[in-house]
Structure 1
Amino acid sequence: METWEFEAELWPWKGETDAWIFVTAPPEVTEEIREASIATGPPRGFGSVRVEARIGTTIWRTSVFPGQDGYALPIKKAVRRKEDLQVGDRALVSITLV
């Protein structure tokens, strides 16, 4: 499977400070994921795509969700704690379709 790597800023969903935190894949990565996901079968709920994500040494499985600016990747609280990340920080993110 193909892997994409990008740097992005952590942002809160709907202004919440600690509940749902995301990064957004840049447009070119979003388009490549969209094209590659067609081969994995029909879209999942909300148009999500299953991925394996990595930030630093932390690896987890989740889904990315389509948004106006690109696919949004949720960053779990456990990941943020382990990698010492907060809203507004930039993170180097790696995602692979699963």
Structure 2
Amino acid sequence: MSEAITAILPLRRWQGEKAVYHLVTFLGDEAEALAGHALMQRLEFGRSRGFGSIKVTARIGSTEWKSSVFPQDKQTEWVLLVSKKVMRAEDLAAGDECAVSVTPI
């Protein structure tokens, strides 16, 4: 099992064409660790997952769920979507800082 990647990140709101999404973005060392995991996965399986994503177990507070993180800007940023269910459970709103942990599966 992989090691958890943890950071305190702002919860951002993003308006898409069809819906509003909430997300956190991993940068710096955390993004580098995720990019390294993606590279190892690609070397092991000979291909990458859809959109270059990585399956993870995510945790904010006491809420844990399975999801994926998606690379942005040539893997220097990785995005994790946060559902309204998680936001309600952890009493979060756009702009709040939250401790986020992702463990690659």
- Cα deviations by residue, 1:61-93 (Å, 9 ceiling, x for unpaired): 111111136100000110000000010000000
Counterpart residue number, 1:95: 102
What displacement does 1:26 show?
A: 1.9
* Fraction of identical pairs, as percent: 37
The TM-score, its normalising length taken from structure 1, stands at 0.89
When Rg is computed on C-alpha atoms for both structures, the one with the higher figure is: 2
Specify every segment of 5 or more residues in structure 2 that has no aligned partner in the other structure, as ranges: none
Query: Hey, what's the Cα distance between the residues in 2 that align with 1:15 and 1:28?
Result: 28
Counterpart residue number, 1:57: 62
Say if 2:68 is the partner of 1:67. no
The number of aligned residues is: 97
Query: Hey, what's the Cα distance between the residues in 1 that align with 2:16 and 2:67?
Result: 22
Residues 45/27 of structure 1: CA separation in 2 closer, same or farther (3 Å cut): same
- Cα deviations by residue, 1:46-74 (Å, 9 ceiling, x for unpaired): 11111110000000011111113610000
> Would you say the 8 A contact 1:6–1:26 is kept in 2?
no
The TM-score, its normalising length taken from structure 2, stands at 0.83
- Cα deviations by residue, 1:14-52 (Å, 9 ceiling, x for unpaired): 478x72110001221111111122223322111111111
Q: What's the C-alpha RMSD, in Å, of the aligned pairs?
A: 1.8
In terms of fraction of residues, the more strand-rich structure is 2
Specify every segment of 5 or more residues in structure 1 that has no aligned partner in the other structure, as ranges: none
> Would you say the 8 A contact 1:24–1:71 is kept in 2?
yes
